[in-house]
């Protein structure tokens, strides 16, 4: 279970002061809730992601196909300087927590988010709030059940940052069951659509594969990519990292062809956890993970939701979890689904190599398909259209 660090007396006073400032702002907004909202404004908010990417970008691209001349689409981010593609798409980019952000969100009819919201703004009665989230299944603990709060102020601020949405995108039935318990979203209508970013996997994505491999400089090679999830204790993983050279040799022996090693760290983890045994192509700053997954031939991860996305492609995914006990005890821990992942698991380089040498791909693919049936996968390649049509109806 994740533990937010204990607060000293001075920090507790700061937390308390900030809480009451937020509380006052929310009180004033409630008094102004009678003001009209603009049906022409569609507000997309990402408080954590660096780039114009992920589920919300795919929804915006679908909206743009509808040629909604009267609608203004806003992309609100902490990193407007890295949102050039949004501007190219005709999207208005605004800095998160700026006065313009507060104004636009307060007066927008439709608000779309993929994570937490700014706690200083209320969800207005006339607004429609859609949460497209950033994963199709929960392998790691999230929500109130996965956090120990050192003060009542942090618990309340957490609730303000995670208001119950009117609609929420779901990748599978197991996701819905867990989210309802973790956040108490008992009145949310869940869209059984799958994730918008995964729509890419259902079409002809060969051009994306070629573009990615050309960018990396490996048009004629196969890619094994390591994509670990965020963790508080990075040192424990760094100490037990696998030897990528041995993994590459095993892949070449088993599947043939030339292979390269690449890695993409979590967007919270810009500190490199790798060492000299793991020289490879750093794809951390590549903005679209879905495009990367199209080009990746073998994925090595741990508890990341990217493994769920990779299931759609039915390519080999291995869970590398050398620090599983530490993650379980000192981090967010695992959900029931996290304890029952369908991927082969390794805790050392030797175990990784053994899996590559011995895995029977027909049996692996069969286990992946059974897993999708067990959790009742909703992925079908139409999520972007479903969410876009909902936005148009609500706007």
Q: How many alpha carbons fall within 13 Å on the CB side of residue 376?
A: 8
Task: Answer yes or no: do 183 and 243 share one domain.
Answer: no
Task: Please determine, for residue 151, whether its predicted confidence score (pLDDT) is greater than 50.
Answer: yes
Could you give the CA distance from residue 45 to residue 78 in angstroms, rounded to a whole number?
A: 9
Predicted local distance difference test score (pLDDT) of residue 333: 85
Could you give the CA distance from residue 155 to residue 149 in angstroms, rounded to a whole number?
A: 6
Task: Answer yes or no: do 344 and 387 share one domain.
Answer: no
- State how many domains the chain has: 2
Predicted local distance difference test score (pLDDT) of residue 35: 97
- Beta partners for residue 202, in sequence order: none
Task: Answer yes or no: do 218 and 334 share one domain.
Answer: yes
Task: Answer yes or no: do 269 and 176 share one domain.
Answer: no
Percent of the chain with pLDDT over 70: 92
Q: Are 52 and 83 in contact (CB under 8 A)?
A: yes
Predicted local distance difference test score (pLDDT) of residue 234: 62
- Tens digit of pLDDT for each residue in 76-93? 999 999 999 999 999 999
Task: Answer yes or no: do 211 and 344 share one domain.
Answer: yes
Is 302 a member of any domain?
Answer: yes
Task: Answer yes or no: do 347 and 264 share one domain.
Answer: yes
Task: Answer yes or no: do 164 and 230 share one domain.
Answer: no
Which residues, including other chains, have CB under 8 Å from residue 307's CB and lie 6 or more apart?
139, 299, 301, 317, 319, 341, 343
DSSP H or E stretch at residue 345: strand 345-346
Question: Which spans in 243-360 are helix H?
Answer: 244-255, 289-295, 306-313, 324-330, 349-358
Task: Please determine, for residue 363, whether its predicted confidence score (pLDDT) is greater than 80.
Answer: yes
Task: Answer yes or no: do 277 and 149 share one domain.
Answer: no
- pTM to 2 decimal places: 0.93
Task: Answer yes or no: do 168 and 220 share one domain.
Answer: no
Is 199 a member of any domain?
Answer: no
DSSP H or E stretch at residue 130: strand 128-131
Question: Tokens 């967007």 identify what position?
Answer: 267
- Tens digit of pLDDT for each residue in 206-253? 999 999 999 999 999 999 999 998 776 666 666 678 999 999 999 999
For residue 26, give both structure tokens: 């929310």
Is 108 a member of any domain?
Answer: yes
Is 234 a member of any domain?
Answer: yes
User: What is the extent of the structural domain holding 301?
Assistant: 204-374
Q: Given pLDDT bands bounded at 50, 70 and 90, which one contains residue 6?
A: very low
Could you give the CA distance from residue 327 to residue 325 in angstroms, rounded to a whole number?
A: 5
Could you give the CA distance from residue 159 to residue 175 in angstroms, rounded to a whole number?
A: 20
Read off the CATH number of the domain in which 388 is found: 3.40.50.11820
Which residues, including other chains, have CB under 8 Å from residue 18's CB and lie 6 or more apart?
153, 157
Read off the CATH number of the domain in which 211 is found: 3.40.50.12580
Is 123 a member of any domain?
Answer: yes
Predicted local distance difference test score (pLDDT) of residue 233: 65
SS3 200: helix
């Amino acid at each position: 279970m994740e533990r937010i660090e204990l607060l000293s007396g001075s920090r507790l006073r700061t937390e308390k002061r900030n809480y009451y400032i937020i509380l006052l702002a929310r009180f004033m907004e409630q008094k102004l809730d009678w003001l009209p909202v603009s049906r022409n404004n569609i507000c997309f908010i990402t408080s954590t992601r660096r780039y114009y990417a992920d589920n919300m970008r795919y929804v915006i691209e679908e909206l743009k196909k509808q040629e909604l001349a009267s609608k203004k689409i806003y992309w609100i981010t902490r990193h407007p300087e890295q949102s050039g593609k949004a501007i190219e798409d005709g999207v208005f980019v605004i800095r998160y927590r700026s006065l313009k952000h507060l104004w636009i969100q307060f007066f927008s009819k439709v608000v779309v988010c993929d994570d937490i919201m700014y706690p200083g703004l209320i969800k207005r009665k006339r607004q429609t709030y859609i949460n497209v989230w950033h994963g199709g299944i929960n392998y790691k603990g999230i929500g109130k059940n996965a956090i120990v709060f050192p003060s009542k102020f942090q618990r309340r601020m957490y609730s303000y940052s995670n208001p119950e949405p009117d609609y929420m995108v779901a990748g599978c039935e197991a996701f819905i069951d867990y989210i309802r318990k973790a956040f108490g979203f008992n009145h949310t209508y869940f869209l059984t659509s799958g994730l918008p970013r995964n729509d890419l996997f259902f079409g002809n994505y060969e051009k994306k594969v070629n573009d990615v491999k050309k960018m990396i400089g490996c048009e004629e090679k196969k890619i094994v990519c390591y994509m670990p999830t965020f963790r508080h204790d990075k040192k424990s993983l760094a100490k037990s990292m696998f030897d990528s050279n041995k993994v590459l040799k095993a892949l070449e022996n088993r599947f043939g062809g030339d292979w390269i090693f690449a890695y993409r760290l979590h967007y919270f983890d810009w500190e490199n956890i790798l060492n000299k045994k793991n020289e490879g192509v750093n794809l951390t700053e590549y903005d679209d993970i879905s495009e990367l997954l199209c080009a990746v031939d073998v994925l090595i991860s741990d508890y990341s939701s990217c493994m769920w996305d990779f299931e759609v492609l039915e390519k080999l995914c291995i869970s590398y979890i050398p620090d599983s006990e530490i993650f379980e005890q000192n981090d967010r821990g695992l959900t029931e689904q996290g304890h029952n992942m369908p991927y082969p698991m390794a805790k050392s380089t030797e175990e990784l190599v053994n899996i590559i040498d011995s895995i029977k791909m027909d049996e692996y693919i069969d286990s992946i398909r059974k897993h999708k049936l067990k959790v009742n996968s909703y992925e079908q390649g139409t999520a972007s259209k479903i969410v876009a049509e909902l936005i148009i109806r609500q706007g």
